[in-house]
Amino acid sequence: MESTLETLDSFLSRVTDCGGYACAQQAARATQHVLEVLGAHLVGDDRTDLARLLPRHCGPLLSVTEPASEPLTPEGFIEAVAERGNEGLTEARRAVTAVLPVLAELADDALLRRILTQLPPGHAGLFGRTDPA
């Protein structure tokens, strides 16, 4: 895998556009909360490989939280983002559906499949994809 493919500005610009945010600061906040929740549910090389694709300031967010004790449903994932950001479910859903599709664009198909394998069924939709067969 290559190292960082995106600059922070480019990454946040994509999240801003995808989420319809007014500014990069809102996109940065959404990115932080989503990556922290996602990182708690990924282990090993998958988390490391994804971190390498992210801008230098974003990759470490995948490993700042303790590993999750149990898997989250897609709705539970959104609820966890809402709790982390101290915001409502609508805003959390907006963050998730802004950040995860950008991650899916950065990851190759093999890495995305490995990530989705670590998450319960239904998460592919949050990444803007269909569940693998």
- The label of the residue with tokens 């946040």 reads 12
Instruction: Please report, as a single letter, which amino acid is at residue 32.
Output: Q
Q: Is 71 helix (H, G, I), strand (E, B) or coil?
A: coil
The whole-model pTM stands at: 0.91
Q: Is 112 helix (H, G, I), strand (E, B) or coil?
A: helix
Query: Could you tell me the pLDDT band of residue 66, with boundaries at 50, 70 and 90?
Result: confident
The count of other CB atoms within 10 Å of the CB of residue 46 is 19
pLDDT the model gives residue 64: 87
Q: Would you state the structure tokens that stand for residue 36, as one six-digit string?
A: 């922290």
Residues 6+ positions from 63 with CB-CB distance below 8 Å: 39, 47, 51
Residue 102 has pLDDT above 50, yes or no: yes
Residue 1 has pLDDT above 50, yes or no: no
